[in-house]
Structure 1
């Protein structure tokens, strides 16, 4: 896999509209190019002074049903699918302008976001790209939940989920995150829920924009969407999509093998906190220096733990 050693941004701006999954509100969103070292930032154009919120884990204010970032009272909700798309397609710098507090859900996946990014085009910038290079394992557990990262020459995610519903059950999937595999194997995977959860969420003022058009809805035994699933293991692929979006809040690319089991937005965020307390377990390096010429691809992966049951 060819890894870009320079930062990348969008070639031109691109705009689209949709509704928020939980708010049900229509939102207009524009992705814009940004200069080197800008990172990904969200701009609320509907608020006075149009506050800008960096897409960083320090800005996370809620992870109950989606990942929400905020600063000084301004928030942007449900950022994970768009962030996964930018990361999966290798975009380092972009400004996201939106006129409501929630990123549109589109079809419940990252497929349309990815298409918009491709439509805008991606260009390489002159500034070098930095990354987190994992040197030692970092692991956290909570009951049967598990999240870890191990040394790797690529950004790889292995995810296992375990649901009591027969339609889902135990599923595992592993992917090297790069544009081609992201677009083909991960981006089309949609968010999902049990149909009984919808009523409870709407009673709490949530999922007001949810429908069979933007989520997989099941009754435990079967999928209720007329067109069925896009992949037989679409559920675990969507969890990987969420992981990519949540882990993108590190703020830089990283080379490591993420292994997660029964994780979610809250647990992913706990892992990010642990990651930054374990500073001896990783280095910040130029991407061009991540692979010493005299010893390419010869890191020790013996510590990688099998959690795929």
Structure 2
């Protein structure tokens, strides 16, 4: 049986919020089966709980955030991506600020935290959301699509017309039947452009951004002294974001995802399109090894390797 997972112990981290620029304390706590991923604003009185939910997604400018009662938890996508990549179904996330800390701008530090706490399998079957029929969402030349697939595969293409990005790969496919989230995706960092900094900060964005937590480019080149971590790090980060955005549906997907020039907003829209067509999806479990698609068992074996 493919089982649900949580953490073995509590783990803590402190960092800076990418957009707010303020110190953030983060605590990750184990949760019971079928709890899901639940964020808690512990700085509020009383504390406010915000479960992962695509219909709670707010402000998709440069991040995915959750909102309830006028209060928010922003920049959840990198942590959600790490949770999806390691197959963690149930977790309490305590945070004392309106956003998750950015750490190094990738999901790598979250993977390290989760692995440090230890991952525990629970006595309940993992519940997958299986796409039964293709759905698509478009805005102009941007589009995103989910199609039936016995596993989880993502294909993404980007167009930025920037020399540094043009010199890297602008399209990638990641198939978790063959590739490892930890090795092949988790370390890809968010990126931005120096010429956009003044505009973003005037709009209350990227106040905590730096060369320590993002790939930064001027008009011609990457400014980070250590260069890129992957030859296709830009488009790989878009895949990392998509994994986190899609995991806000509350279940691991069995689907082939493909997108062109998409971002957080379109990722949220495709989940809503999918969920609102009840004939396009179903919840499934795999309680017998013989019934488990090989791609699925391989994906979750790799996550624990």
What TM-score do the two structures reach when normalised by structure 1? 0.90
Residue in 2 that maps onto 1:238: 237
The number of residue pairs the alignment matches comes to: 293
The equivalences for 1:43-82 within 5 A come to 43-82=40-79
Write the deviation string for residues 29-59 of structure 1: whole angstroms up to 9, x where unpaired: 0100000000000111110011110011111
Query: Aligned-pair distance for 1:178?
Result: 7.4
The equivalences for 1:1-309 within 5 A come to 5-169=2-166, 171-177=170-176, 181-288=180-287, 292=291
8 Å CA contact retained: 2:5, 2:88: yes
8 Å CA contact retained: 1:88, 1:179: no
Distance 1:160 1:289, change over 3 A: farther
Distance 1:231 1:199, change over 3 A: same
Give 3-state SS (helix, strand or coil) of 1:132's partner: strand
Query: Aligned-pair distance for 1:176?
Result: 2.4
Distance 1:291 1:76, change over 3 A: farther
Higher mean alpha-carbon deviation, 185-194 vs 279-288, is at: 279-288
RMSD of aligned Cα (Å): 1.9
Distance 1:26 1:203, change over 3 A: same
Give 3-state SS (helix, strand or coil) of 1:164's partner: coil
8 Å CA contact retained: 2:4, 2:123: yes
Give 3-state SS (helix, strand or coil) of 2:287's partner: helix
Write the deviation string for residues 105-146 of structure 1: whole angstroms up to 9, x where unpaired: 000101100000000111110011111112221122222212
8 Å CA contact retained: 1:88, 1:178: no
Which blocks of at least 5 consecutive residues in structure 2 are unaligned? Answer: 296-305
What TM-score do the two structures reach when normalised by structure 2? 0.91
